[in-house]
Structure 1
Amino acid sequence: MGEALLIASERLADFVTAIFIAARTRPDFARETAQHLVAANLKGHDSHGVGMAPNYVDAIANGHLAPDAEAEMLEDRGAILRVDGRFGFGQVVGRQATDLAIERVRDAGVVTLALRNAHHLGRIGTYAERCAQAGCVR
């Protein structure tokens, strides 16, 4: 086995972003997804880190991942939201759906969010952390 290679996290995110852009991904979505993957590695969740990038590129090539898809609200019942990820990057549509829930919880007090048709969401704790940072988890 070879020596470990130490790469600065920003350089790694730049590299993974470039890979996704080369696979026809919007630059902002490519960057968001790359940063999410790098953050997973930095938090010790290597199984959900940049090692997933080749799988994502394959999924784009095979038509199983729509690299430019955005989340779409399917059903809004106040405290219950049903969102379709339209087979987009889970990191992107997951964040979009989470942001809808955060916005809604301010009015409703509690929200149930269902997200369907999303590609791999990455490190799931990211979404709980986003809710906590927004003041939704105490």
Structure 2
Amino acid sequence: MILSLGQARALAHAAMTGVGHSEREAEVIADHLIDCELRGLAFGGLSRAVSVVERIQATAAARQPIGVERETPVSAAIDGGDQVGYLVAQQATELAIAKARTSGVAVIGARNTWYTGMFSYYLEQVTAAGFLGMAAGSGAHIVAPHGGSQARFGTNPIAFGFPTSGSPVIWDIGTSSVMLGEVLQRHREGRPLDAGHAFDADGCPTQDPVAALFGGAFTVWGGHKGSGLALVVQLLGMACGAATAPHGVSDCGFLLMVVDPGLFTDADDFRRRAADYAELLRATRPTDAERPVRVPFERSAAERERRRARGTIEVSDDVCTALSNAASPTLGAR
């Protein structure tokens, strides 16, 4: 189904209010989801909204208010109240930026949340404020370490962002070979996983999303180096108070560090030099003349502008139907 951007946003917003979010909360969530769609990450867009709806409807306990458990001038520990991470991480980002403006540095840790989305979404805000940042998030055990076939990590994304005098440099990756949202999307669409991305419960390679999700595991990205990075991210999430092995879609950890480069050097000069360095990377002689060297984040930013200009996105009929059903007032709200 082809939807205008306004229709897609309205659908996401209505589905979120349909499962109990306030108008403002729904706006925050919908903006993140539509940004995923615009950047070509459909598995994190309206398809993910279906997963949010399903998770809320399957949860008996009411979500609690997001709260700051402890705080200093440069830090805060947030209890997410079992709220979706789009809300928790957004609050953490706004708090971190405010603290960094006052103190030059901020470290915010959050727990008891889930589905935090694209970390680059938050780092765009951090870099727009003139700061550099690092975000890391732990989750339930669904990824096997290098050399193993049993789940011990989450998909464990990590991201870094740097302000420049031009476009920001943002590197945002998951440490698994495939992200959970993509797996769920493939399951809904009846498509197999790529070879080499998953094991079943017996440790045998599988391309069946269900076999991997229930008792199996996904492979780690980057061999032993990616496995080590995934380990670090899991520990960072645990340092935020998140569970060592959260059960299901729950209690993810989220850590955000924000630093003013002006603590170390002239901030304007750094941004100029960072922009020059990015240009130097682009000017690298490519190994394939048809594929010039790119700076991280450029592809998705360009795709976002292209789709904004087009004004429409394509969404599967099943996803549209599920979200329309969630938006129905007969479903009630928690």
In the TM superposition, what whole-angstrom CA distance separates every residue of 1:29-59 from its partner, at most 9, and x where no partner exists? 1122112101111012222111011111111
Matched, 1:71 2:66: yes
Given candidates 122, 133, 137, the residue that maps to 2:117 is 122
**Distance in structure 1 (CA, Å) of the matches to 2:127 and 2:86:** 17
Looking at secondary structure, tell me which structure has more helix per residue: 1
Given candidates 119, 123, 126, the residue that maps to 1:131 is 126
Contact 1:17 1:34 in 2 (8 A): yes
Contact 1:72 1:86 in 2 (8 A): yes
Instruction: Name the counterpart of 1:29.
Output: 25
**Distance in structure 2 (CA, Å) of the matches to 1:52 and 1:83:** 24
CA drift at 1:89: 2.1
- C-alpha change, 1:90 and 1:102, in structure 2 (3 Å) is same
CA drift at 1:80: 2.3
Matched, 1:14 2:10: yes
**Distance in structure 1 (CA, Å) of the matches to 2:99 and 2:50:** 35
- C-alpha change, 1:94 and 1:64, in structure 2 (3 Å) is farther
Structure 2 residue runs of 5 or longer lacking an equivalent are 133-162, 164-334
Instruction: Name the counterpart of 1:54.
Output: 50
Instruction: Name the counterpart of 2:103.
Output: 108
**Distance in structure 2 (CA, Å) of the matches to 1:117 and 1:66:** 13
**Distance in structure 2 (CA, Å) of the matches to 1:54 and 1:72:** 26
Structure 1 residue runs of 5 or longer lacking an equivalent are none
Q: Which has the higher contact order (CA 8 A, sep 6+)?
A: 2
Equivalent pairs, count = 133
Instruction: Name the counterpart of 1:89.
Output: 84
Q: Which has the larger radius of gyration?
A: 2
CA drift at 1:136: 1.8
The runs of 4+ residues in structure 1 deviating greater than 6 Å are: none
Contact 1:75 1:81 in 2 (8 A): yes
**Distance in structure 2 (CA, Å) of the matches to 1:36 and 1:74:** 26
Instruction: Name the counterpart of 1:42.
Output: 38
Instruction: Name the counterpart of 2:264.
Output: none
Give TM-score scaled by structure 1 length: 0.86
In the TM superposition, what whole-angstrom CA distance separates every residue of 1:49-104 from its partner, at most 9, and x where no partner exists? 1101111111111227856x543111112222211111112111211111111110
* Cα root mean square deviation, aligned: 1.9
Contact 1:65 1:88 in 2 (8 A): no
Q: What letter is aligned with 1:88?
A: Q
Q: Percent identity?
A: 24
